[in-house]
Structure 1
Amino acid sequence: MVFNPAAKGEKASRVRDQILALSHGARVLETRHPEDAQELAAQAAQEGFRTVVAAGGDGTINGVVNGIALSDARLGVLPIGTMNLFAAELGIPPRLEAAWEVIAAGHERAIDLPFAGSRYFVQLAGIGLDAQVVKETDRTFRKNFGPVSYMVSLAQIAGRKPPLIRIRTREGTEHEGTFALIGNGRYYGAPLPIFRDAVPDDGKLDVLLFRGFGPLEILRYLQGLVFGTHLDMKDVEYLQCAGLSAESEGEAPVEVDGELIGDLPIEIGIADRRLRVVIPETRSAGGGSATAS
């Protein structure tokens, strides 16, 4: 198990004790820096562990996934972070005891493994505004205040002029906008089911491309995302594709699963191999099936 104590701040000691009490016989490795999760997970996979558990938020899960992606290990999730979108997507319960029962039962599902450049992700990639918010939000502020911290950064960014982003899908269609969200599942943010047709194992990326910008436009988009009316907006485009390339006329950052990875240009697609994830037996988001192992 790869445990990120920073995911629970001052509560880390109590959460650590809970995890140790639950995980009889499991090796628990703690991260000290954000990059540790990938290294520790890769080490566990190389040593032959069949299941590597990410105990943290979406950023910790991302690190663990990048550590085991090229191995035969499967992913388990204990959702103890600020944002737990991936766990919500797959129906993994938020209570530690219930989440551990899911891992112990061992039912799994193979899902798509998207990538952005050289980095794999499981839930979401953001280009432009979303990634700029991640870039300008202090990690400590984010940990202590959660979604509120992002709103503070968003308010500061909304008045700037954004670069034009150009996207070309693998199918050959071309699109333009000011920022984009790319999903492997339905959820973003609160979590909000903003990607209407997304299924984690359908071999497709779901893309939302926004053409407007500015304080009023962004407020309108946020209201649309919250109330589910964003797909009715004429300046919001929703598409599905097997992969895409993105470039911009100015600097545009990119984030995956809430972690900044660089700037455009970038290629985003789905890897040939899949990611095996331990999920609840009765839960199969998007119609897939869980198998015992």
Structure 2
Amino acid sequence: MTLSKRRLVIIHNPTSGMRNKSRFSKALLRLADTDCEVEILKTMGPGHATEMTRELVARNDPDIVLVAAGGDGTVLEILNGLDGGELPLGVIPLGTANVLAREIGVGASIEKAIKVLATALPVPVYAARANEKRFLLMAGAGYDSLTVAALRPGEKKRFSAFAYVFAAFRAAPGFRDMELEVSVEGKHYVAASAVISKARYYGGPFVIAADGGIEKPRFDVVLLKNAGFIAAFRYGMALLFNRLSRLPDVETLTTDQEISIKSSKIFPCQCDGDICLETPLRISLDLTPIRILRATGE
């Protein structure tokens, strides 16, 4: 792949994020100042990004760079369409949390995103599978999955990150009755909530695994031991100040082995911020790397 005349195929989720339209227009204006050729495909609903990605993979065109213009949910759909393909992936951050964009050194900056798309070379990163569904950032069961499950249609677009606060209050009654059995390398742990992280960041700019990262073929398993709304509030505040790992009732494990999560009742599970699975859950590394454009030195 050369740095000039790069062909970008942008899969755009027009419903992603509160400021999507103006930010996407800004990105296109910045791209017009580069040597990139641009093709735009707009998603029409859930699952459409996966279908379009599979069609692009089937073209077998080595000169294409696939670009996710949306949030982490859009990236998740594209990731599952990339299964078995080798197209490099870039990001234009238009979502609420944009965790992947932060992982690759772009953050919420359109300017940085366009610079990376126009000049960066792809690097290998490692995804994972939860019950055969691919994810790149994290899988979770407990506080986060109940909160995501309580989100109402259109709420993220209207309220951005505050939508999760409203959803957490609606989900709070379920926080009292949570118990998971998490198995890691033959040992069994009991926790109220578990986050299986491939990424350093969680929920936006908050660090959940200081030594983690999508370029590393391993997991950070974060176990929150106590249930209830007060415990959830305490964990949330610790995460805001990057002190979660210092709490005595939080345990973090590192592994490259398969992880299982079980519960006595069926429990919703989230992957990269979307509810798409339920317990029991088996999580393993995908040892075939994907290629992502990221900022130099990140």
Name the TM-score, length of structure 2 as normaliser: 0.88
Q: Which amino acid in structure 2 is aligned with residue 29 of structure 1?
A: L
Pick the aligned partner of 1:39 from 51, 55, 72: 51
Distance 1:109 1:139 in 2: 35
- C-alpha contact 2:178 2:227 (8 A) present in aligned 1: no
Whether 2:11 is the aligned partner of 1:6: answer: no
The equivalent of 1:254 in structure 2 is: 269
The equivalent of 2:291 in structure 1 is: 276
Distance 2:246 2:20 in 1: 42
Give the C-alpha shift of residue 46 in structure 1. Answer: 1.2
Give the C-alpha shift of residue 65 in structure 1. Answer: 1.1
CA offsets, 1:132-170, max 9 Å, x none?
A: 11111113012221221111121232233323211112x
Pick the aligned partner of 1:150 from 130, 152, 164: 164
- C-alpha contact 1:90 1:283 (8 A) present in aligned 2: no
Distance 1:76 1:11 in 2: 17
Q: Which amino acid in structure 2 is aligned with residue 43 of structure 1?
A: E
Whether 2:179 is the aligned partner of 1:164: answer: yes
Name the TM-score, length of structure 1 as normaliser: 0.90
Give the C-alpha shift of residue 68 in structure 1. Answer: 1.1
The equivalent of 2:66 in structure 1 is: 52
CA offsets, 1:218-277, max 9 Å, x none?
A: 111112112222222222111111220111011211111111112100111111201110
Whether 2:279 is the aligned partner of 1:267: answer: no
Whether 2:245 is the aligned partner of 1:215: answer: no
CA offsets, 1:85-111, max 9 Å, x none?
A: 111011025333431221111322101
The equivalent of 2:244 in structure 1 is: 230
Give the C-alpha shift of residue 34 in structure 1. Answer: 2.2
Distance 1:142 1:9 in 2: 7
Distance 1:207 1:36 in 2: 31
Q: After alignment, is 90-99 or 26-35 more displaced?
A: 90-99
Distance 2:140 2:168 in 1: 14
RMSD, aligned CA: 1.8
The equivalent of 1:27 in structure 2 is: 39
- C-alpha contact 2:18 2:160 (8 A) present in aligned 1: no
Distance 1:212 1:78, change over 3 A: same
Distance 1:148 1:92 in 2: 22
Aligned residues: 281
Q: Which amino acid in structure 1 is aligned with residue 178 of structure 2?
A: P
Percent sequence identity over aligned pairs: 27
Whether 2:98 is the aligned partner of 1:84: answer: yes
- C-alpha contact 1:186 1:195 (8 A) present in aligned 2: yes
Distance 1:199 1:89 in 2: 7
The equivalent of 1:289 in structure 2 is: none
Structure 1 unmatched ranges of 5 or more: 285-293
Distance 1:18 1:196, change over 3 A: closer
- C-alpha contact 2:18 2:156 (8 A) present in aligned 1: no
Distance 1:100 1:238, change over 3 A: same
Distance 2:55 2:215 in 1: 27
Structure 2 unmatched ranges of 5 or more: 1-9
* Secondary structure, aligned partner of 1:137: coil
The equivalent of 2:4 in structure 1 is: none
Give the C-alpha shift of residue 8 in structure 1. Answer: 4.2
* Secondary structure, aligned partner of 2:183: strand
Give the C-alpha shift of residue 41 in structure 1. Answer: 1.3
- C-alpha contact 1:58 1:257 (8 A) present in aligned 2: yes
